Structure 1
């Protein structure tokens, strides 16, 4: 991760920028009388499509890809319902959420089985040493995890209408580690040791990134936080 140029992060910025420009053009056309934005606002499910697209462009994990695709799919279905092309309601979404959650659990179990077959030691269903690279997801709930590896290399944290708390005060970094966060209607809290320097490079959209850490004596251990806080918050503290 140290030499990762993060091309997908740049792609996400471009996609997000184009979406913002499109929204600005719509409001401009509304002010000029060419379109009626009151009717356009009835297509609020586009929010799911936009957020899902951002997640798809930014994720590097299978779980993140599944989540992004699910959000885009729900947004498209709701849009088609608004256009009276299909009949789709929130009562239909809940079974789809259960199906998606079941598929995610099955995929996770398969990955664990493959790891066992390849000879990787397992602990509580996860490979021993997996704390070196994390993949944490909280949807409509809370997730708390403690990481104590002495060779933390980064990973990905996703919180959708839920919260994630990652306690790494007993961990260590060799050089630099990067964590990609995605908080949508949710919050992420990261606790790091006082000898880590923190670099916030995230993008808040109606949300916020906040750092409450003590400045270390040197920059030998550096934690980089990238990603998005969409109507949510990300806090890093000691």
Structure 2
């Protein structure tokens, strides 16, 4: 595998795996009575923010999925740590945020990501082509 085919280091799979490990360690510390781990679980929006940042890293700064994850993270932080009623008053700001991202994506279109071909089916080279318009070496009948 060369460096161009290497998957990105910071990905949603990595974030998911680390989140599951962290939850397991938190619950283990709680069941062994080492620490009252439920206080750590109030920071659950951090996992959503990590998913959003991973999506933005993979898909680009205008990734709609990344901004959706970040929007849920911000809403979670506001509901967990903000004054009561703050989310109820400022929820239209999330609609404005989404509209800005959709508008920027329309102005600056993102390149389509190509799906990776399976390793067992390589694409033909021009020398192997059956197209008569190419300069391929062909057997004439």
TM bin, normalised by shorter chain, reads: 0.5 to 0.7
TM-score, with structure 1 as normaliser: 0.38
Gaps of 5+ in 2: 124-141
Residue 79 of structure 2: aligned partner: 81
Which has the larger Rg? 2
The 1:96/1:71 distance shift into structure 2, 3 A limit, reads: farther
Corresponding pairs, count: 121
Corresponding residue for residue 52 of structure 2? 52
Contact 1:16 1:54 survives alignment (8 Å): no
Distance (Å, rounded) in 2 between the aligned partners of 1:21 and 1:81? 25
* Structure-to-structure mapping, 1:1-238, within 5 angstroms: 4-8=4-8, 10-12=9-11, 13-41=13-41, 43-59=43-59, 61-64=60-63, 67-84=65-82, 87-89=85-87, 92-93=90-91, 95-111=92-108, 134=112, 154=114, 177-178=115-116, 198=118, 219-221=121-123
- Counterpart CA distance in 2 for 1:82 and 1:109 is 34
The alpha-carbon distance between structure 1 residues 45 and 15, as it changes in their structure 2 partners (threshold 3 A), is closer
Name the one with the larger strand percent: 1
The separation in 2 between residues aligned to 1:4 and 1:51, in whole angstroms, is 23
TM-score w.r.t. length of structure 2: 0.57
C-alpha contact (below 8 Å) 1:77/1:88 kept by paired residues: no
SS of equivalent residue, structure 1 residue 5: coil
Cα distance in 2, alignment partners of residues 81 and 34 from structure 1 = 28
CA contact (8 A) 1:46 1:76 kept: no
User: Following TM superposition, by how much is the alpha carbon of 1:67 offset from its aligned partner in structure 2, in angstroms?
Assistant: 4.0
Structure number with greater CO (CA < 8 Å, separation at least 6) is: 2
More helix, by proportion:
2
- Measured on the aligned residues, the alpha-carbon RMSD in Å equals 3.7
Unaligned runs of 5+ in 1: 113-129, 136-153, 155-176, 179-196, 200-217, 222-238
Offset, 1:68 = 1.8
